[in-house]
Amino acid sequence: MATATEQWVLVEMVQALYEAPAYHLILEGILILWIIRLLFSKTYKLQERSDLTVKEKEELIEEWQPEPLVPPVPKDHPALNYNIVSGPPSHKIVVNGKECINFASFNFLGLLDNPRVKAAALASLKKYGVGTCGPRGFYGTFDVHLDLEDRLAKFMKTEEAIIYSYGFATIASAIPAYSKRGDIVFVDRAACFAIQKGLQASRSDIKLFKHNDMADLERLLKEQEIEDQKNPRKARVTRRFIVVEGLYMNTGTICPLPELVKLKYKYKARIFLEESLSFGVLGEHGRGVTEHYGINIDDIDLISANMENALASIGGFCCGRSFVIDHQRLSGQGYCFSASLPPLLAAAAIEALNIMEENPGIFAVLKEKCRQIHKALQGISGLKVVGESLSPAFHLQLEESTGSREQDVRLLQEIVDQCMNRSIALTQARYLEKEEKCLPPPSIRVVVTVEQTAEELERAASTIKEVAQAVLL
Amino acid sequence: MRPGPGGCCCRRTVRANGCVANGEVRNGYVKTSAAAAAAASQVRGARAAGPGWRPFNEAFEETPMLVAVLTYVGYGVLTLFGYLRDFLRHWRIEKCHHATEREEQKDFVSLYQDFENFYTRNLYMRIRDNWNRPICSVPGARVDIMERQSHDYNWSFKYTGNIIKGVINMGSYNYLGFARNTGSCQEAAAKILEEYGVGVCSTRQEIGNLDKHEELEELVARFLGVEAAMAYGMGFATNSMNIPALVGKGCLILSDELNHASLVLGARLSGATIRIFKHNNMQSLEKLLKDAIVYGQPRTRRPWKKILILVEGIYSMEGSIVRLPEVIALKKKYKAYLYLDEAHSIGALGPTGRGVVDYFGLDPEDVDVMMGTFTKSFGASGGYIGGKKELIDYLRTHSHSAVYATSLSPPVVEQIITSMKCIMGQDGTSLGKECVQQLAENTRYFRRRLKEMGFIIYGNEDSPVVPLMLYMPAKIGAFGREMLKRNIGVVVVGFPATPIIESRARFCLSAAHTKEILDTALKEIDEVGDLLQLKYSRHRLVPLLDRPFDETTYEETED
């Protein structure tokens, strides 16, 4: 029944089609086509996708003009023309042809031209030649390296030490060996450039705290703790490190280690301590800031220092527990991928350690000299002393900046130059202004060594005072 | 397996299968590109003119299928046993040897990821005795090695006090034989040591710029044939501390996939965008260059500020030589800058020992940044960068190394000066030239003999770095130990310095190797090769040497 009705409707429709006028059919046809078009076409174009033709690409390549590889350096750039030192940079130094007393090299213990050190290095040179021709892994490990590592570990009273062939690369390789992406590093704002580069290489989250401000550090640690409570699963795999310097290269101040150790256990963050300035300087035996404060060295997870200051050789080392240090032998980039330290430099460092161990009084002498010049340099109008009185490297900054860094640098350079003319060799602390995370203000760095006599220290202080007065007033 | 502290291990990205799978040679060669064609003709021209004309003969024989399968099986077994032993250690059935965390810090977040340690604990530790072998003599042609023993399966070593004397040294990078404790270099260095001491205690910009440093830099510039040069205290740091001074945000770095860790680190620290091209593959490089210029920076589509190509002269794990003429042609066509790391090639390549530029007879002016190290051919330590005066002036003011790192030790500087003068013939002898020739002869002889024996040898026939393929993890340890038993010190490397199945032994030739030493070494290698069944090569014949350069059957690789 139903089908019959449908059939009837169909017949009727076909009939209607025949009867309809032509114009009607045409119009309807057009309408149907229009609807179909509307259905299938987009109302707007998402993106004009037209691939570049080969010719257009060639034009683009032709048109592209790169910047020069390096921008031109102005001829009067303050850092372009280096001072030329002829002969050894020891206590007496010849800078640009003029003999001066050296107040600029980090030769704190005067070991640079020590005859014993030289003799040890010479003996090594005669046995091993100069270079090692290989990294530690591939026949670049010499017995001297093992000796030096052993001696450093014993000297620092730690389980193990590892040596690097370049001071800068030591902490810069050590940090990324442990701290990875996602880990959190709390670091002092005044941290030196090597630490900054190590942090950058580690790609960890970096939290800067105010220089030596433990309250600020604790605030950050607390913030992190709250954060961790929100996401405990993530917190379980997020390592936390505190990176500080023993004596700060950029400020000459000492870190408050006892408080840091307390915070370490409270918030379960490991401490990495950079001791390039404090090793061989602070403490009764020159073991650095841990000895200075009487802190158990095992409470510090990793200590790194270079052998280029107090030890007057080249290279650096890290020391700590084997659990920590041994990891660097496969993961410390500057250790694995670089040629090892020339044996003569390792031998020199061993002999320097011997001398340090035999003359523990030397550190008290150094401290006394630091105190003396510190006192003598107080009260210069226009210049202020920045840094601890026990630090052998400290800064003289302008009391009041002229407002422009360039002008400040020029003024300080004038002081340095005039001091140099009066036989006191000084230098400004140099920084890469655009690269530093927190650029320290321009300063003259004064370095005290045990070789400087009381009169020389007095003379240096009075010279600086007179020159500063002439230049700044 | 693990290279241990791998000397010049290269960072590996996953290598596209296409390159290796079907063909003897895996370097893509751009036949269609005008630039490369020009380059090819330039090569021929340059070489035909120079005395050292030689076809560019570089081969990477395909890994035999059976060997590849067995290698994977080997790693599979090792991993299974690793888990088993970890399980036993966990239940204290097997003794734990490794150092542990302090009791007081047990509740700290663990310092290491466990997976990382799995490899070290279960694979590397089994054959750890092949690395870090301590020596107690000059790293010359023969070397004295301190004997050591382990009573706890390589977890710790005891020195027996014996010294294995006169081991043939096939591991040190002593290409020209300047690692010596006698002779003019040692005497000069000793004199300077007495005069200056060893340290400097300051940076170049502060007060550590000695007259010796200036002398060295002037000499290096002359040696390289560039306007100026600057020297740094460490080769690794030369790369990692100077690349960031040259490029930064908005710049593009095109880096070979096998570049050394120092170049990779430098590139990363610079903040520039990094793109990787296939090893020595000019087609891949050209495509990246073209795309970079046409499409600009991602998202913003701003044009790149500048493009820096990072390549090495000789790749230390592959033994290959960079296709410099083509790289230079491409860099000129696309206005990119070229940074050439000659760590292994300086002194070791070219008729006058001036490195890869000299080898191809090219103009050093065409390379924007000439970097190299003093560690290898010069038997010293440190690195340099040479180039135009503007570049060096910029580095003097902006290099991280010049501002923050202690300058080179004076006796080391003197060693470089004396050895470099010797190579240049300025010491009045022809000793340097003879060394360069000797090295080239040794290289060709040694490589040819190894190929004739049926080993799979990678790399360019002129490269003094000779990788011999071992493939299987067990053979890494076995080869190193067997060779030492026969009084030959070799370097063996595996993952992660090489792709997982391409473990290898590496020989570094030296001008100090006499024919007799090489023959002894070859005899022993032959023997060990039979013992360990290392003669994998299915091409017993050495490829024809006088095949024209551009008709070689280079395979096109797909990007």
Task: Give the distance from residue B390's alpha carbon to the nearest chain A alpha carbon, in angstroms.
Answer: 6
Q: Spell out which residues of chain A touch residue B393, defining contact as CB-CB under 8 Å.
A: 73, 80
| Residue whose tokens read 């994998």 | B536
Task: Say how far apart CA B515 and CA A449 lie, in whole Å.
Answer: 54
Q: Which of A102, A113, A127 has the CB atom closest to B197's CB atom? A: A113
Average the pLDDT over A225-254 and give the result.
Answer: 94
pLDDT higher than 50, residue B549: no
Task: Say how far apart CA A96 and CA A84 lie, in whole Å.
Answer: 5
Q: Are B362 and B325 in contact (CB under 8 A)?
A: yes
Q: Spell out which residues of chain B touch residue A281, defining contact as CB-CB under 8 Å.
A: none
pLDDT of the residue at A473: 80
Do A249 and A105 lie in one domain? The reply is no
The CATH number of the domain where A379 resides is what? 3.90.1150.10
Do A376 and A453 lie in one domain? The reply is yes
Instruction: Give the domain extent around A393.
Output: 80-109+359-470
Helices within A157-190 (DSSP H only): 167-178
Task: Say how far apart CA B252 and CA B274 lie, in whole Å.
Answer: 6
Task: Say how far apart CA B135 and CA B142 lie, in whole Å.
Answer: 11
Interior angle at CA B556, CA B443 and CA B356, nearest 5? 30
pLDDT of the residue at A43: 64
Tell me if A40 is assigned to some domain: no
pLDDT of the residue at B539: 75
Tell me if A62 is assigned to some domain: no
pLDDT higher than 80, residue B46: no
Does B174 sit within 8 Å of A133, measured CB to CB?
Answer: yes
Where b means 16+ CB within 10 Å and e means fewer, B140-162 reads bbbbbbbbbeeeeebeebeeeee
Q: Spell out which residues of chain A touch residue B207, defining contact as CB-CB under 8 Å.
A: 83, 85, 89, 93, 95, 102, 104-105, 425, 427
pLDDT band at B15 (very low <50, low <70, confident <90, very high): very low
Q: Which of A464, A367, A432 is nearest to A104 (CA)?
A: A464
Task: Say how far apart CA A73 and CA A89 lie, in whole Å.
Answer: 28
In DSSP notation, B25-73 reads ------SS-HHHHHHHHHHHHHHHHSTT-----EE-PPPPHHHHHHHHH
pLDDT in tens, A273-291: 999 999 999 999 999 999 9
Is residue B177 classed as helix, strand or coil in its secondary structure? coil
pLDDT higher than 60, residue B211: yes
pLDDT band at B556 (very low <50, low <70, confident <90, very high): very low
B167: β partners: B143
pLDDT of the residue at A24: 85
Does B397 sit within 8 Å of A79, measured CB to CB?
Answer: yes
Strand blocks (E) in A50-159: 85-86, 92-95, 98-102
Does B6 sit within 8 Å of A80, measured CB to CB?
Answer: no
pLDDT band at B42 (very low <50, low <70, confident <90, very high): very low
pLDDT higher than 50, residue B548: no
A362 near B CB under 8 A: no
Task: Count how many domains chain A has.
Answer: 2
Q: Spell out which residues of chain B touch residue A132, defining contact as CB-CB under 8 Å.
A: 139, 172, 375, 381
Does B196 sit within 8 Å of A122, measured CB to CB?
Answer: no
Closest-approach residue (CA) in chain A for B146: A143
Task: Say how far apart CA A3 and CA A25 lie, in whole Å.
Answer: 28
pLDDT band at B329 (very low <50, low <70, confident <90, very high): very high
Distance of CA B286 to the CA centre of its chain: 24
Interface-testing mutation among A59, A77, A139, A186, with chain B (most B C-beta atoms within 10 A): A139
B40 φ/ψ sector (left φ>0, alpha ψ -120 to 50, else beta): alpha
Of the given ranges (A37-51, A267-281, B522-536), which has the lowest mean pLDDT?
A: A37-51
Interface-testing mutation among B107, B144, B207, with chain A (most A C-beta atoms within 10 A): B207
Q: Spell out which residues of chain A touch residue B317, defining contact as CB-CB under 8 Å.
A: none
Q: Which of B109, B200, B368 has the CB atom closest to A240's CB atom? A: B109
Q: Which of A446, A472, A312 is nearest to A373 (CA)?
A: A446
Is the previous residue joined to B496 through a cis bond, with omega within 30 degrees of 0?
yes
| Average pLDDT score over chain B | 86
Do A380 and A341 lie in one domain? The reply is no
Q: Spell out which residues of chain A touch residue B9, defining contact as CB-CB under 8 Å.
A: 336-337
pLDDT of the residue at B16: 36
pLDDT of the residue at B5: 40
| Phi, psi (rounded to 5 degrees) for A225 | -60, -45
Tell me if A166 is assigned to some domain: yes
The residue from A356, A389, A418 where one domain ends is A356
Do A153 and A252 lie in one domain? The reply is yes
Does B411 sit within 8 Å of A72, measured CB to CB?
Answer: no
The residue from A303, A326, A356 where one domain ends is A356
pLDDT of the residue at A4: 65
Does A201 sit within 8 Å of B491, measured CB to CB?
Answer: no
Task: Give the distance from residue B523's alpha carbon to the nearest chain A alpha carbon, in angstroms.
Answer: 22
pLDDT higher than 80, residue B547: no
pLDDT higher than 90, residue B58: no
Do A350 and A321 lie in one domain? The reply is yes
Considering only residues A63 and A4, tell me which one the structure prediction assigns the higher pLDDT. A63
The residue from A326, A356, A386 where one domain ends is A356
Tell me if A22 is assigned to some domain: no
Task: Say how far apart CA B500 and CA B540 lie, in whole Å.
Answer: 26
Does B100 sit within 8 Å of A339, measured CB to CB?
Answer: no
Average the pLDDT over B458-478 and give the result.
Answer: 94
pLDDT in tens, A319-344: 999 999 999 999 999 999 999 999 99
| Residue whose tokens read 């020891």 | A90
Closest-approach residue (CA) in chain B for A132: B139
Do A225 and A308 lie in one domain? The reply is yes
Do A373 and A260 lie in one domain? The reply is no
A308 near B CB under 8 A: yes
Of the given ranges (A443-447, B32-36, B121-125, B503-507), which has the lowest mean pLDDT?
A: B32-36
Average the pLDDT over B70-97 and give the result.
Answer: 90
Q: Which of B343, B108, B286, B127 is nearest to A264 (CA)?
A: B108
Where b means 16+ CB within 10 Å and e means fewer, B2-38 reads bbbbbbbbbbbeeebebbbeebebbbbbbeebebbeb
Do A439 and A294 lie in one domain? The reply is no
Q: Which of A73, A314, A344 has the CB atom closest to B397's CB atom? A: A73
Tell me if A98 is assigned to some domain: yes
pLDDT higher than 50, residue B402: yes
Residue B34 to residues A54, A243, B37, B286, B370: CA-CA distances in angstroms? 14, 54, 5, 11, 26
Of the given ranges (A63-67, A226-230, B33-37, B468-472), which has the lowest mean pLDDT?
A: B33-37
Tell me if A174 is assigned to some domain: yes
pLDDT of the residue at A45: 62
pLDDT band at A301 (very low <50, low <70, confident <90, very high): very high
Tell me if A70 is assigned to some domain: no
Q: Which domains does chain B have, with CATH numbers?
A: 57-96+112-169+430-541 (3.90.1150.10), 184-424 (3.40.640.10)
Do A461 and A417 lie in one domain? The reply is yes
Closest-approach residue (CA) in chain B for A431: B403
Q: And the tokens for A389?
A: 């009185």
Do A158 and A105 lie in one domain? The reply is no
Of the given ranges (A34-38, A453-457, B217-221), which has the lowest mean pLDDT?
A: A34-38
Q: Which of B100, B104, B381 has the CB atom closest to A131's CB atom? A: B381
Residues of chain B above pLDDT 70, percent: 86
A135 near B CB under 8 A: yes
Do A259 and A288 lie in one domain? The reply is yes
A219 near B CB under 8 A: no
Task: Say how far apart CA B61 and CA B478 lie, in whole Å.
Answer: 23
Average the pLDDT over A45-72 and give the result.
Answer: 84
pLDDT of the residue at A71: 93
pLDDT band at A3 (very low <50, low <70, confident <90, very high): low
Task: Say how far apart CA A37 and CA A41 lie, in whole Å.
Answer: 6
Do A333 and A261 lie in one domain? The reply is yes
Interface-testing mutation among B201, B389, B484, with chain A (most A C-beta atoms within 10 A): B201
pLDDT in tens, A136-173: 999 999 999 999 999 999 999 999 999 999 999 999 99
Report the predicted TM-score, pTM, of the whole model to 2 decimal places: 0.87
Helices within B107-255 (DSSP H only): 114-122, 184-196, 211-224, 235-246
A237 near B CB under 8 A: yes
pLDDT band at A2 (very low <50, low <70, confident <90, very high): low
Does B241 sit within 8 Å of A122, measured CB to CB?
Answer: no
Tell me if A2 is assigned to some domain: no
Does A138 sit within 8 Å of B190, measured CB to CB?
Answer: no
| Phi, psi (rounded to 5 degrees) for A100 | -135, 170
The CATH number of the domain where A333 resides is what? 3.40.640.10
| Average pLDDT score over chain A | 93
Q: Which of B181, B558, B182 is nearest to A343 (CA)?
A: B181
